[in-house]
Amino acid sequence: MRIVLQRVQKARVEVSENTIAQIGAGLLLLVGITHDDTETDAKYLAEKCVNLRIFEDDAGKMNLSGLEVGAELLAISQFTLYADTRRGRRPSFVAAAPPEESLPMFNKFVEFLKSLGLKVMTGEFGARMTVDFINDGPVTIILDSHFR
C-alpha cells in the first residue's frame, strides 16, 4: 500500500462539479493499493499517518501528530500511485490492484482511520474526481507499507 500524504489547510473533492467531501486543517491522503496488500498494511499505514509528528507546536517545530491536533482526514483512492513508467511513454498500471481487490482494502484502511477517533472523509471510489486543496508548509510525504 502506498500513500502520498499532504498536510493541508483545507481540501475538498468534487464529482461532476458537486462537492462530495471536504475537510479543514489536516491531511489529504492519496491511497494506492497493490495486489499483495493486507489488512496489516492498511492498519500500519493508518496508524503511521495519524501518528507522524508533522504538525507544528507552539515553538513552530514539527512536533505534534495528527491525533494530538485533531486533524481532519480526506482519503482518496488513487490507483495511479502504482504507475510503472520505466518503459515507453504510456504508464502501465498492472501493479495496481483491480477494483474488486482494492475497494475492500481501501474501505478497511478508512475503517482503521475512523477507529482512531478523527474525522475521516473520502472521495468516491472509481469516479473521476477533482481534488482542490491548500498544501500547508508545504508538507508532502510518501509512505509505503512494503518499505518499513
Which residue in 44, 30, 50, 13 sits closest to 131, CA to CA? Answer: 13
Q: Which residues are catalytic?
A: 80
CB-CB contact of 68 with 118 (8 Å)? no
Residue 57's pLDDT is what? 97
Residues 6+ apart with CB under 8 A from 86: none
> What pLDDT does 106 receive?
98
pLDDT in tens, the chain (148 residues): 999 999 999 999 999 999 999 999 999 999 999 999 999 999 999 999 999 999 999 999 999 999 999 999 999 999 999 999 999 999 999 999 999 999 999 999 999 999 999 999 999 999 999 999 999 999 999 999 998 7
Residue 32: what residue type? G
- The CATH number corresponding to 2-144 among 3.50.80.10, 3.20.20.100, 3.55.40.20, 1.10.3720.10 equals 3.50.80.10
The structural domains of the chain, with segments of one domain joined by +, span 2-144
Contact 56, 42 (CB under 8 A): no
Q: What are 106's three cell numbers?
A: 481501501
Helix, strand, or coil (residue 69): helix
Q: 53-62: long-range contacts (C-beta < 8 A, 24 or more apart)? A: 54/7, 54/139, 54/141, 55/7, 62/139
